[in-house]
Structure 1
């Protein structure tokens, strides 16, 4: 087994009132995390779990690029669609109800001439190595993942 090669990832946040938080990461402009009005927020930004779904898409995109290069997998484009289901009772503290996603549906749509078996091979490797995918999976969330080409 190879020696550990650890990196530290950081962020900071500042409460902006109500349910809104400004998040800073590295030297990028801060971004707003908020809740929709229906949950008491001002809807000035995506909520935390929407960012998790966005992180799943972007992390998968990065891993596809890395692994496609390793496997000589050619593609001209890739798009992502996902949704997750939460039981709001978990957020309200109801005993025995998890506050995180119950399930996540995830579609990865390629523009490629590669075969379905090559797409499946790439899918298996990405799902094995993608940090955000594994964070969600290891939390016990059921992930329904479909990868296909158009």
Structure 2
């Protein structure tokens, strides 16, 4: 199906939405927006439906880890979240600057050494490594405008910053009463 709007038309609409949202934020008392994701592991399959607001994303592992490969695994979802956030941040920056983009694509790559996560090797890293992103674009935009966009991406993209500047994470384990 053909898009209803071109990317340039979407960016014009986004610029208006961002201006209205910023105006509302300035009028309200300072307060962060709560975020929440939950998983209730499916008995018998180990599938992990992730609930975020009214949305569900199915997470699974491949057969080597006892899964059915019905969805991305958690490290892949991390890269997916980063790609989505980089793309959205780039769109917001492009909309604010009235950049003439006709196409925008983001690719995030990395690698994982399962020997670390599976406790096979103490030397192998546990977290994904060699994370990289590439923003590809088409449009009437100069190299300097895109360099400035990238600089702002690395200053304003929440998921990218959560990886580059990790936050404290407190955890707990609670018993579910029958």
TM-score w.r.t. length of structure 1:
0.81
Given the alignment of the two structures, is residue 75 of structure 1 paired with residue 101 of structure 2, yes or no? Answer: yes
Structure of greater Rg: 2
Distance 2:81 2:141 in 1: 26
Q: 2:132 aligns to what SS in structure 1?
A: strand
Shift of 1:84: 0.8
Q: 2:59 is matched with which residue? A: 33
Q: Which portions of structure 1, spanning 4 or more consecutive aligned residues, are displaced by more than 6 angstroms? A: none
Higher strand share: 1
Give the number of equivalent residue pairs: 137
Q: 1:122 is matched with which residue? A: 149
Shift of 1:31: 2.3
Distance 1:63 1:88 in 2: 31
Q: 2:51 is matched with which residue? A: 24
What are structure 1's unaligned runs of at least 5 residues?
Answer: 140-150
* RMSD, aligned α-carbons: 2.0
Q: Say which of 44, 48, 51 aligns to 2:70.
A: 44
Q: 2:90 is matched with which residue? A: 64
What are structure 2's unaligned runs of at least 5 residues?
Answer: 1-25, 167-178
Higher helix share: 2
TM-score w.r.t. length of structure 2:
0.69
